[in-house]
């Protein structure tokens, strides 16, 4: 399927106002996949960064250094940065790209505007649980997105032939977690700065570690 994908579209997307059609100018940046030529009536501004969906959830531009550089430049050039409504995935894109400083600076901001409860469930627009008006019947990633997704991307990135452990994690901070990979099965990581990262996987797979993260000696 990956080999059948066309080249990623390039261009710079600009909105002048909600009453005018968006303009896709020529440039060497990631662009939305859909053509904007025949939009009528003009679309209202879309605060989601559709041109960056190849970073997340597509993860199509993370392994090749040239495409990674393209993705980083496109991330920095995005419009409506850190919008305070809607599903703002700025920190998810930053985490996928390994931009640790951006995640550290902005994650709390996004966390505060999307989470409602200490347990991590966010208030949703879906039907509520009877008289418990603050809790939805089916909490989804729509509300949890800007808080949960960056954490997951900071902990592990999985590919069919590779697991990247703590790709965007502060190496000064200890962490323990278990996550499921469709390729490696259950993945358990126990990391401390002094000892390094102890990793156990259900199925054998090649491991890499984020910048500053060292594997524990004799740990498998």
Question: Where do the structural domains in the chain lie, given as residue ranges?
Answer: 10-156, 160-220
User: Nearest-CA neighbor of 52 among 149, 122, 148, 189?
Assistant: 149
Burial label for 218, CB within 10 Å (0-12, 13-18, 19+), is: exposed
Tens-of-pLDDT digits for all 220 residues of the chain?
A: 778 878 888 998 777 776 777 778 889 999 887 666 666 666 655 677 888 999 998 899 999 999 999 999 999 998 888 886 656 789 999 999 999 999 989 887 777 665 555 555 555 545 555 555 555 555 554 555 566 788 889 999 999 999 999 999 999 999 999 999 999 999 999 999 999 999 999 999 999 999 999 999 654 4
Query: For position 141, what pLDDT does the model report?
Result: 47
Query: For position 117, what pLDDT does the model report?
Result: 54
All residues at 6 or more sequence positions from 146 whose CB lies less than 8 Å from its CB, including other chains: 87, 88, 89, 90, 91, 92, 110, 111, 113, 114
């Amino acid at each position: 399927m990956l080999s059948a994908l066309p080249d990623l579209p390039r261009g710079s997307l600009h909105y002048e106002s909600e009453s005018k059609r968006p303009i896709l100018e020529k440039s060497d940046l990631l662009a939305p996949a859909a053509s904007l030529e025949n939009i009528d009536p003009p679309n209202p501004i879309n605060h989601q960064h559709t041109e960056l969906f190849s970073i997340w959830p597509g993860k199509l531009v993370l392994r090749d250094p040239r495409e990674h550089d393209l993705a980083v430049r496109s991330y920095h050039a995005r419009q409506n940065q850190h919008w305070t409504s809607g599903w703002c995935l700025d920190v998810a894109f930053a985490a996928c790209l390994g931009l640790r400083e951006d995640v550290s600076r902005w994650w709390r901001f996004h966390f505060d505007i999307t989470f409602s409860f200490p347990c991590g469930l966010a208030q949703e627009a879906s039907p509520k649980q009877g008289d418990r008006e603050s809790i939805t019947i089916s909490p989804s990633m729509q509300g949890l997105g800007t808080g949960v997704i960056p954490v997951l991307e900071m902990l592990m990135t999985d590919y069919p032939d590779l697991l990247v452990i703590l790709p965007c994690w502060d190496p000064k901070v200890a962490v323990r977690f278990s996550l499921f990979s469709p390729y490696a099965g259950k993945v358990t990581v126990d990391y401390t700065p002094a000892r390094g990262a102890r990793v156990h996987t259900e199925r054998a797979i090649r491991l890499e570690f984020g910048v500053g993260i060292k594997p524990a000696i004799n740990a498998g």
